[in-house]
Structure 1
Amino acid sequence: MSGDDAASEKKREIDAVDEPFTQTKRQLKKQKKSHAAALTNNKPNMSFDLNNINKRNNRYGIHDIRDLVLHLAADGQKKNWMNVSHHSNIQHTVVLMVPGITSESLGIDKPSLSSAHPFSLSPRLDDAASNLIPVINKLYSHALPVRAPGDSQRLYSPAQHILNSPIPPPEKARQQKAAQEKAGVNLPNPAKLSPPVFLIDIDQMRDNAYPMPSWLGPDVKALPEYPLPLNDGVHDSDDLDKLSDEERTKVQDDGWLETPKLDVYPRLNNPRVYGLDCEMVMTDQGSQLARVTLIDYASSNKVLDELVKPEGNVVDYLSKYSGLTKEILDQAELSHKEAQDKFADFITPSTILIGHSLESDFKALKLRHPWVIDTALVYEHPRRMPFKPSLKWLMKKWCDREIQNGTDGHDPEEDAKSCLELLSKKIQYGRNFGSLPNEMESIFTRVARVKQSHLNSASNEQNKTGACVDYGNPGQFHGMKAKTSISCKNDDEIIDGVIETAQTHDLVYGRLTELQVALGWSNSPNDNGKEGEDKDKESQSNGNSVQSAPIESAYAALNRRIERLHEALPPNTALVIISPHSDPRPSLHLNQRRLAFQEAYKNANADVSKIDPDKIFMRDDDEKLLHEAEIAKTGMTFFCIK
């Protein structure tokens, strides 16, 4: 074989090896080209389905908009009120919350309060100049009237309803199975629940600002292991008379009562468990201990109930909550140190204390103790963390019993026994008792479970992604489950963040607030709750924060921002703009009057003659409140695909 023939043969061998890779590259290139053509030729589109809309006799809710967004961006079901053609070709979905867009600002007539029918955005011919947001009319032909969430008297957060959705049944079943499997872990065999099972951990103590024993420094990652009972009838004793001086809970040099650490904790069938409740008064040195109560879990007997002389001068007895008055507290004989010593007589290194948000009681008592069952943490608030349920609500919900109903303040014995009763319910009915079913999840969690379907992604196996662009720190709150969260200080930064993330994320949420601030509907989200003159000075001095602007200027700025956003969005991006409600101020003012009257009525022991006539809330006022609240819930939503 000649040299040329050998070279040709070698080339054929190399080509044969490379052929599969070459074909794959050609196929991918062809697929991408075909996909690009499909995106161009089969452009997605949205149109209202009037046949189904006309069957409704009330407006759609924010949750309906959320469900449509999940259909556009994730795996949500098709909605019968919106036709979406070439749905799979929608590449990105942007949801922009913009309170303050009203029919007046668009130069159109007010839609009906009850109608669900989309209304035209064509300005009135005789008043076209009143259209303050012309880009809306340019991008959208119609708007869908929506109803903001709320009860008969109040508005609820629209953002909470758009950003959280029901967990789909298959995912809920998976979570329930995982929870059942987890619940069986770490339990003794046979599994018998006992108080130690419900101890809060070191992270919960730190997150809720519990005073920590000095031996639990910031570098300590976990509490010592608290042995669960074996139910074999054999256990060590934690009798106080057998404790050495080093093992006793005692007052330290800094004035704090601290429980020491044991090298080995005894395994106890019946560990000491006490319900604890403290009452405080306000002094010129701040909040201070005025009463301490302990209830024994095993017997339900009150073992300690002492009034304590505050170290400072009392400026407010907080009688509404503490139940204490000057006459009662004048009977106190114990100093704070003496009260601590009496309390310590009941505490061993293994004692478990149970109460409701006990961090406040620990601080008042000046106590550092590691073993805590906090009913505000082992039971759940309906809105989940960081919200905590009140003890009054827990007792009504799970024990069907009313507490804290008197006008003379809280009864510490009643509160402590209530916490013990809630613990007993957990032990009797299991870990999941009092755990509200987790029916909702972040829409960003929902999106992240869905695989990308469009071929121009790096890999078809990648999951979809979400981004949250908002004021404050969305990454710690409603944007926690988003792949990307961007914190902003003004609406221009919001638009910048939405444009940036919309290029690479499947779902993007942003919120513009400067219009509603200019309208006086709300304070700037940068104000951090500051009031009055200080707030105004800060707003004026901070050039990067939201500032109150003339209303016309605010509308003009919004118009520019929406134009800039739409121009910068990638093709085949759905842009959903939600103006969730109308002016909330009339209903807010009436609600404040209603609450003030209720407080005055309670303080007057239901004697209306003792109430200032200007504070009386009449039946006509109540009817007006219902009407104004319904008007406040009137909003609108706009849909288009670039």
Structure 2
Amino acid sequence: MGKKGKNKRSKRGHGVSKNAKHLARRGEKRRKTETEDTTEEKPAKKLRRFEAEERAQDGACTPEGQEQRLKKLRVDDDTPVPLVERLTDGSETNKKKKKQKKKKTDCETSQDEGRSAGEGHLGDNLSSDDVMAPQGQSQGPENSDTKHQKNKNKSKKETSSQDTQAVLHLTLNNLEGEFRLAQVQQLLLHAFLGKRKSAPWCQIQNFNKLRKVVLVVLNGVSSEHLAQHPECFAQLAAMFPNKKVPLAMKVADSRPREFMRDLLRVPVSKTAQKKLGKDLENGVVDPDLVEKSASCAKHTGEKSTVGRTHFLLNREQLRANRFPLDTDTALSEGFVSFETCTPTDTSPMYAIDCEMCETEVGKELTRISVVGEDLKTVYNSLVKPRRLVKDYMTQFSGICEKDLKDVTTRLEHVQEMLQELLPPDGILVGHSLENDLQALKMIHPHVIDTSLLFNHPTWRFKPKLRTLASKLLGKEIQTGTGGHDSVEDAAAAMQLVQLKIANGPSFLLDHGGANSVSDTESYFRVLAREKKTATMVDTASCLKPFLGHPVHCVPVVSDREALAKAQSEIRSKHFVWVQLHSWHTVANSSMCEPSILAETLARLCARVCELYNMVPENSLFVVLTTGAESVGQLSQTLDKGSQENVQIGEGRNDQEKTKCSHGLCYLTVKKC
């Protein structure tokens, strides 16, 4: 039965034809009923349909209201009015009624005003003042409204000007201790970073409206000079109206280079240190960094004064990195100590690289290469170990058993050759040089190591020589499958050291030398990350430590030349450094009189005013004085009549006397 039923269904088309006809008939019936309802709708139905809506709007249930609604519902006896038209008509009628009411009130007010004015003019005994009095009464509220609008406009202008201007607020109560250069650093960072680097003692409202930051440094001027010659600083007082200015600033070292280093080396957070370490560890280095530093060195025409001795590892660094030393008692037999003397910046450098193999005792020497400063090979030789070789490490050294089959050179021969080759003041250069010296069994205290020269304390591993050569020198080394080339590696290490010496300690990283600091960075690198341009107008000797920084260096000879070149730099750069040295040179000269010093100080303040006039509106203008280097310089500024009253006691030493000198800090935002 089931199969027959299925077959019958299949013949019928699974019941589609019968159901389709049935559905079609039902659809036709529905359409007919809908059309009949719409076309032949009775008036009672129409009334019931619109009655609820009319009650909600009109709220009237009287028979008169029903008749009016019936009139609205039909134009003829048979055709109803659509609901949309009915609603629009009602809204339009309401609008017309409101307009008519407004016209009536306006007419009544105008008639009242005309009557009052007519009564005033008809009075024969009234004077002109009496006639104008009612007009004044009627115009009184209008005048008050106009005044109120004017006040509103003024307040709007003031708020708009406040929004478009940068404002400097000083909260010196939040200072912890004395005012120092660290607080000035906070201000300079806050000017470009805003809330990301806040300064507790000051705040720049609308810091994003700042156009420039101009920093003027007066070398050798101290707070004592302001106390003894206030007339010379009268022009500065007019430029800085804030009564809290100037601020007495304690300076640790007033020498120009030390002052610049303390001010322009800003602290680095731990997160920034980790990020900086990962960048070079992963090989992410700015490829234009070498070109920028080289162009900066060409612009100044001079190389860095920091010589090669600055990058020598000290005793503690040698011990921390497992270099062999004379004091080590755990050294095995066969170590040789070189006779050396203290090197200078003219001492020759020799780059060394060694290849080793694995023996019964440990790693032993199989090849040594020595390269000079001209990148020419000075010494290159294969070395045969005395013990049985377990692993030649061919994948790294490129040396196999047959290469050493006919070699007769031993470790002792290499040590003798190096003692003859290297001078007493010679400097050894290499990458992870402690491993080479352990294999050579040599003790040499004068070492420059590129793995520490470009290293960072937050890195887990030292940077690879291949990475440094690729990113800083543009050379691809250690690319073959046949092992390393010791001559090529030694030449790359020499080039890296020469690059560091030529561009100064701040090139890329400054964490390998004896005097390096790991938790600070250049202020100009912070500006470069914010895409801000900077320039320094100063003497060539003061610009040398900043050759590797992302800053445009403009060397000058005199203060007059500094003003001339600073004018063009202020127009195009975001941060401008200008240092004036005329007072320092005159005060330290042998032939100087109080009158000459007073004239020099007045001229110096006048030049500061000229720089202030060059600065555009909405710019931060800061003037710093470094303080006096010696008490003799302070006493030279004093008049002969006042020297006895302010003379410092003879019992104090020179260090205590110099501590009495403070610098000054003037700061303001130039307004419109």
More helix, by proportion:
2
TM (norm. structure 1) is 0.44
Normalising by structure 2, report the TM-score. Answer: 0.42
- Higher-Rg member (1/2): 2
